[in-house]
Structure 1
């Protein structure tokens, strides 16, 4: 909060003192409400040419009105005390405000607080893809006040028919309740998203249906909710890199191949129900050029037929039984075409990591890509292959498709090869990767994800997680999903700490007195220092005694699972109003206060500094006099 000088229209010393005192009192009152007053630059305008890392929206609601470009579609939305408040009187009202711009890859985050709720089932949401006018359909990442419920967190769509489709649910480690600030975020990459609750991934989805022009938004239902520090940051398009603290991306090898006949639609369905993020399958052409889902060069092992797939027509392949070899209850399963597989994923959910199996001509690759286009799945398919030519053809024909290079052994320079082939991911045999784990860091530095195949044991998963592997291709997808859940539970025991007041970057004047506030989890001890000297959480900062300029608060917490640290740097600024507050609270002789205040009002800063120096230890306490003199000299230079 910036406090401006008193109005020059006040021409009497007493009136000016009263104005300064009133302004200082108002500032202290604001601090009592918000915990800290922070001047933050608002940047809600859209850059002409944004890119990864660009902050598209940064809003701390420091003005008294809704930010420019924010559209209160319905409900009551207002800015008070440095926060945005949204109110929905009824559980049937999905009140919303929209902002930002359409982005394919972005992170939306905000501090949310339930002020009042009609029931623990009521909710607030981050809008992921919302028409600017609020019309359906839209997608949201939802948080209930009863966040520990099984559906405390959700990804959901409101359909054009005004019905709900909830695609994913999860519970948070603690309840948001009321009156508690929770930092939440959602990271979106196309149809994929991660729900992040207080810095930890809670769940993910690959079922978003993105629009061509949807923006971001905030929602409230059956509650009054306040929001602060809303930011939208554009992300690099490679959403396959695993964020710190997040579990593996689970890729079901040939579908749920340990539970059902591989490369069939039933294997795909089981993998989907088991929570796999991606289905991995192989594609090859029939004699008449139709792409089919089959791993081997022949149909002998996985069907009741014989012969090379490239020697059989589509009609012949479709007549084969692809299930009875695996078990009697799968009799009658068929070898699906690529089009059939994609149609199933499009309508029932899921993404496809498709391996172009064996040598393919450019025309054969073009046919695969055309099928993907026809099925409207270009945003949900990842191409991988051992065949470099197949990847080159794919990039030439459809540069928007992500590419992964399969390798049995590691290349001498995976990074250079990744750049040459325009790879999104480098996909080596997991054992080869464990033999040379340092390549993961170099690939990540180049923006390339690492997907290891085909790893089926918890021991190997643990080793691959430690070296930073992003995704696992496995025959045991449902087990890896469970392992991921256990990983998140282990991670949730790590201590965390954040300095919530004064916030990092805060600019405060003398009239303010923020309290050091520390939010910690899983911590047994908390230590706090101010400029290297011991302090404490809950201590009120007396800014009248600190030198103008930057100051740093540091904290360290320890718990059973380790330690965590945080720092916050704030700046004590010099202003006429702040100096006035300093004079009024200095404890100086009343005659000295009157003399100094008169000089302050008339902007006689140099004279004020000299007076404070002369009276130090006499009419003005020495420790305060030095601060008064320093601030006055700073104002004299402005």
Structure 2
């Protein structure tokens, strides 16, 4: 699991056919994620001088007294039997003891044990950025005694108004309860953090607000809690390198581009709800210099307009429909400005991997950076580009922004160019990376993360995990999040399998085309069936050809240690939007499509069914006519 400085990894999975890869250099750091929708303004902290591996605090309380320099701000704190005990009599008491110093990149860990609690909702915490006086605001990583609750683990802030901001919650695999030692740890990199419960990563955030002087602390609320073996260790500054045993960082390519029109706010929202750690989008200027989120050099493919983006004014671009090309339910979506996208991320949660698309002048890059500053998002934006000039300008103007170099093929010496351009990450095409996986170890040794684009299948994710890739840019955000979840459950050589798409219980209309995604570990063979008929992982489900109602995807995997099975039942629903998709893609005569569409829009479903029956095998292909007629009759009954 997480690699401790000068120590062995915790919780490493048993070696086997799909056991985690061994790093040439283990760097204890990780990408933290945005989660939740709390409105959080982010401030950049002033980093302490980094000396990775330096143990700043190491306390086992064997001296029998509260350590020198530890400040019991409130509540009863004492040392007995080699443990530090803190007591809070009620849920209104957030009692704390502060210690340590301000660090930008560090790991804090401790053995925590609930001795008594007033209720399972009561908690204890590791303080991540707490003034020595204990004054608000401060940030904590919280564990309840009822740890399996949906909010059993939290990242939380106590504001100056003495209110709570809780951007991230998670449940632990088992309850802490009382009388049980739990080894807890949090790795912090600026505003990013990872919550580690008994050696297993449980949650990430990038919503921390950092002060310039806050240190560490221990908290107790409505309980008596004992602590032992409290350690604070400085970490290397690159929090984007994935520790062994941790899952990929999930980066949504142009938002949830497989489910919604790319580079729009709705695509961003779907990706966020799907669990993406980062949103990847492209930025280009309008004729009047306003940065817009758009991939192509023209607006032709993804809007109802035409022309080069650089030849259109901001007013002209904002008048375009950027959603109808993808589906009727997205009519009216607009091309967002960079400022609009960042504001949405700032207020609703999320971070941005921003590609500067195409050649930009220094002034154009300066405008992009100024927008990021104005939106208070400097600590939540990562800049990447194929254009070396754009990265050089970015570094000159804002050296604090992390940089990634996009490559279609690998450089002769990725480490050398990474040093030359001050890269935080080297971001190659995933297939090029798989053809030369030996570049990963030296990049990690140089402190450079590796983010692969654009990889959309479980088999490729598995290969990329084995070679040590840190992050995946993908069109299949939800599927990769599910794959990550299955990866985290791996604990032995026994095969495991999970169907991550379509999700069990999913309700899908015919306008959707989910891909069958299977996450398997320790498996040599994988078989997939849909309603008992042979299929395959990676195959699109054609919902137009399935009857309305429930369907079952089943899979079986076989490995050296045995077999495992999984099923997922989904429902094909009948909706006006779905039926509209079937009509528009039916291959029917244009006149028939026009007639059917008119009846659909006017909700004349019974007339639509009768018309289709008459034209089946004539103006309308017979196989699709039966689907249209059946769905229309279903809608007529609603």
Q: What do you get for the CA RMSD once the two structures are aligned?
A: 1.9
Conserved? CA contact 2:440–2:450, under 8 Å: yes
CA displacement, residues 322-349 of structure 1 (integer Å, 9 cap, x when unaligned): 1111122212111111111111111211
Q: Which residue of 1 aligns with 2:220?
A: 220
Conserved? CA contact 2:50–2:105, under 8 Å: no
Task: Give the Cα–Cα distance (whole angstroms) in 1 for the partners of residues 403 and 416 of structure 2.
Answer: 15
Q: Which residue of 2 aligns with 1:85?
A: 85
Conserved? CA contact 2:280–2:355, under 8 Å: yes
Change (3 A) 1:383 1:491: farther
CA displacement, residues 134-183 of structure 1 (integer Å, 9 cap, x when unaligned): 22222211111222233222222223332223222222222222222111
Q: Identify the range of structure 1 (459-468 vs 73-82) with the bigger mean alpha-carbon deviation.
A: 73-82
Task: Give the Cα–Cα distance (whole angstroms) in 2 for the partners of residues 226 and 493 of structure 1.
Answer: 36
Q: Which residue of 2 aligns with 1:579?
A: none
Change (3 A) 1:561 1:137: farther
Conserved? CA contact 2:50–2:236, under 8 Å: no
Quick check: 1:244 aligned with 2:275?
no
Conserved? CA contact 2:118–2:223, under 8 Å: yes
In the TM superposition, residue 492 of structure 1 has moved relative to its aligned partner by: 7.7
In the TM superposition, residue 48 of structure 1 has moved relative to its aligned partner by: 9.5
Task: Give the Cα–Cα distance (whole angstroms) in 1 for the partners of residues 341 and 49 of structure 2.
Answer: 38
Change (3 A) 1:387 1:326: same
Change (3 A) 1:202 1:48: closer
Change (3 A) 1:83 1:273: same
CA displacement, residues 206-244 of structure 1 (integer Å, 9 cap, x when unaligned): 222223332211111111111111111121221000011
Structure 1 residue runs of 4 or more that deviate by more than 3 Å after TM superposition:
47-50, 491-494
Conserved? CA contact 1:127–1:140, under 8 Å: yes
Q: Which residue of 2 aligns with 1:138?
A: 138
Task: Give the Cα–Cα distance (whole angstroms) in 1 for the partners of residues 308 and 86 of structure 2.
Answer: 64
Conserved? CA contact 1:245–1:491, under 8 Å: no
Task: Give the Cα–Cα distance (whole angstroms) in 2 for the partners of residues 107 and 341 of structure 1.
Answer: 32
Task: Give the Cα–Cα distance (whole angstroms) in 1 for the partners of residues 182 and 246 of structure 2.
Answer: 19
Residue 78 of structure 2: SS of its match in structure 1? strand
In the TM superposition, residue 352 of structure 1 has moved relative to its aligned partner by: 0.6
Q: Which residue of 2 aligns with 1:370?
A: 370
Quick check: 1:315 aligned with 2:293?
no
Conserved? CA contact 2:286–2:309, under 8 Å: yes
Q: Which residue of 2 aligns with 1:65?
A: 65
Q: Which residue of 1 aligns with 2:396?
A: 396
Q: Which residue of 1 aligns with 2:273?
A: 273
Quick check: 1:447 aligned with 2:420?
no
Q: Which residue of 1 aligns with 2:406?
A: 406
Change (3 A) 1:186 1:315: same
Quick check: 1:306 aligned with 2:306?
yes
In the TM superposition, residue 285 of structure 1 has moved relative to its aligned partner by: 0.7
Task: Give the Cα–Cα distance (whole angstroms) in 1 for the partners of residues 136 and 478 of structure 2.
Answer: 34
Q: Which residue of 1 aligns with 2:169?
A: 169
Task: Give the Cα–Cα distance (whole angstroms) in 2 for the partners of residues 348 and 150 of structure 1.
Answer: 20
Quick check: 1:231 aligned with 2:231?
yes
Q: Which residue of 2 aligns with 1:331?
A: 331
Change (3 A) 1:492 1:231: farther
Conserved? CA contact 1:206–1:277, under 8 Å: no
Conserved? CA contact 2:112–2:225, under 8 Å: yes
Larger radius of gyration: 1
Quick check: 1:192 aligned with 2:192?
yes
Matched residues, number: 451
In the TM superposition, residue 561 of structure 1 has moved relative to its aligned partner by: 8.4
In the TM superposition, residue 469 of structure 1 has moved relative to its aligned partner by: 0.5
Conserved? CA contact 1:200–1:492, under 8 Å: no
Quick check: 1:380 aligned with 2:380?
yes
Conserved? CA contact 1:241–1:470, under 8 Å: yes
In the TM superposition, residue 290 of structure 1 has moved relative to its aligned partner by: 1.0
Task: Give the Cα–Cα distance (whole angstroms) in 2 for the partners of residues 486 and 206 of structure 1.
Answer: 23
Q: Which residue of 2 aligns with 1:4?
A: none
Conserved? CA contact 1:251–1:278, under 8 Å: yes
Task: Give the Cα–Cα distance (whole angstroms) in 2 for the partners of residues 493 and 227 of structure 1.
Answer: 34
Match runs of 1:212-611 below 5 Å: 212-491=212-491
CA displacement, residues 531-552 of structure 1 (integer Å, 9 cap, x when unaligned): xxxxxxxxxxxxxxxxxxxxxx
Change (3 A) 1:488 1:110: same
Conserved? CA contact 1:111–1:181, under 8 Å: yes
CA displacement, residues 18-46 of structure 1 (integer Å, 9 cap, x when unaligned): xxxxxxxxxxxxxxxxxxxxxxxxxxxxx
TM-score by length of 2: 0.68
In the TM superposition, residue 476 of structure 1 has moved relative to its aligned partner by: 1.2
For structure 2, list consecutive stretches of 5 or more residues without a partner in the other structure: 1-46, 495-559, 563-638
Residue 490 of structure 2: SS of its match in structure 1? helix
Task: Give the Cα–Cα distance (whole angstroms) in 2 for the partners of residues 72 and 196 of structure 1.
Answer: 26
In the TM superposition, residue 51 of structure 1 has moved relative to its aligned partner by: 2.4
Task: Give the Cα–Cα distance (whole angstroms) in 1 for the partners of residues 271 and 139 of structure 2.
Answer: 24
Residue 437 of structure 2: SS of its match in structure 1? coil
Q: Which residue of 1 aligns with 2:588?
A: none
CA displacement, residues 366-385 of structure 1 (integer Å, 9 cap, x when unaligned): 11111111111111110100
Q: Which residue of 1 aligns with 2:530?
A: none
Residue 279 of structure 1: SS of its match in structure 2? strand
In the TM superposition, residue 50 of structure 1 has moved relative to its aligned partner by: 5.1
Task: Give the Cα–Cα distance (whole angstroms) in 2 for the partners of residues 142 and 233 of structure 1.
Answer: 19
Residue 438 of structure 1: SS of its match in structure 2? helix
Q: Identify the range of structure 1 (441-450 vs 137-146) with the bigger mean alpha-carbon deviation.
A: 137-146
In the TM superposition, residue 391 of structure 1 has moved relative to its aligned partner by: 0.8
CA displacement, residues 239-262 of structure 1 (integer Å, 9 cap, x when unaligned): 000011100001011111111111
Residue 247 of structure 2: SS of its match in structure 1? coil
Conserved? CA contact 1:403–1:422, under 8 Å: yes
Match runs of 1:122-133 below 5 Å: 122-133=122-133
Q: Which residue of 2 aligns with 1:121?
A: 121
